[in-house]
Structure 1
Amino acid sequence: MSRLLLRCLLLCCLALVAGCPKSASKGTALEELQYAYSAAVRWGDFEGAWNLVDPKVREAHPLTDIDFSRYKQVQISGYRDLGGTTLGNGEVVRDIEIGVVNRHTLAERTVRYRERWRYDAAAKTWWLVGGLPDLWDER
């Protein structure tokens, strides 16, 4: 699939979520956004996934074209939800295992990542608080 088509699909998903009736539960909206986010990451659409990051985080820590070009050097081979926890402060965390293949060496490795989602009552949506996964962290 082309990146343009993937972005269009992601935007359609976001539009559907935004257009959901107000009776939809916050949990359902979160699941739909998490699905859209995981699909964007699995397909390598990190620009699309970046749109689901909290605007305050995007403003404080903007990504450059060089940052996005680093994501183009990898292929995602797997995205597995390892479970999550609801925190008492309107946040949800979810542990993720991502399979990453370096496009140049074809070496595959696994990266663990913790997503942190925050509900924004004013915008009536969930935002990813931690930013995009660091696929190069050598911890």
Structure 2
Amino acid sequence: MRRILSILVVLSVLLLTGCATKARSDALTTTLKAYGSTLRWGDFQSAAQFIDPAVRAAHPLTPLQLARYRQVRVSEYDDGAGPVPSGDFDVQQTVLINLVNVHTQSERSVVDHQSWHYDEKTKRWWLTSGLPDITQD
């Protein structure tokens, strides 16, 4: 009887863990789609809301950065193979972003190496790597 009870407890824990993992995975999918959509529309100011609040407070966007983001339009956002787990609560994603300068109409590409972290308290995924560096060559 004691053995059966132990097995039931272990199965219950595994089931709950599976549910938590599924919920975390679903939240990641939703977050990455929303972030990608926000960038596709070129709304970098709204995209900043995906950045971890601690990172955002430590590294606020400068007026110069905001001006640079206003100078470009996103013509393509390719998340390729999607996110790759780098821990229980972390994923990495590499995205190719094509940008068009609104003044010169010249197009160029930047590679954005994104790091995402899941916060168990808020049940949210946060971008910890910041917005894409659009000044890279």
What TM-score do the two structures reach when normalised by structure 1?
0.79
Deviation at 1:23, TM superposition (A): 9.4
Q: CA RMSD in A?
A: 1.6
Q: Where does the alignment leave 5 or more consecutive residues of structure 2 unmatched?
A: 1-19
Say if 1:66 and 1:78 are closer, same or farther in 2 by CA, change over 3 A. Answer: same
Higher helix share: 2
Aligned partner of 2:116 in structure 1 is 117
Aligned to 1:137: 136
CA distance in 1, matches of 2:21, 2:49: 24
Which protein has the larger Cα radius of gyration, Structure 1 or Structure 2?
2
- Partner residue, 1:28: 26
Structure 1: 5+ residue stretches without partners? 1-21
**Superposed, which structure 2 residues align to 1:2-41 within 5 Å?**
25-41=23-39
Moved over 3 A (4+): none
- Aligned twin of 2:42: 44
C-alpha deviations, 1:10-42, integer Å up to 9, x for none?
xxxxxxxxxxxx896111111111111111111
Q: SS of the counterpart of 1:51?
A: helix
Identical amino acids, percent of aligned pairs: 40
**Equivalent residue, structure 2, for 1:3:** none
1:122 aligned partner, one-letter code: K
| Deviation at residue 66 of structure 1 after TM alignment | 2.9
Q: Distance in 2 between matches of 1:109 and 1:23?
A: 38
Task: Write the distance in 1 (CA, Å) between the matches of 2:132 and 2:61.
Answer: 12
Distance 1:112 1:118, change over 3 A: same
Aligned partner of residue 87 in structure 1, secondary structure: strand
Matched pairs, number: 117
- State the match for 2:76 in structure 1: 78
**CA distances 1:71-95 after superposition (whole Å, capped 9, x unpaired):** 0100100000122310124100111
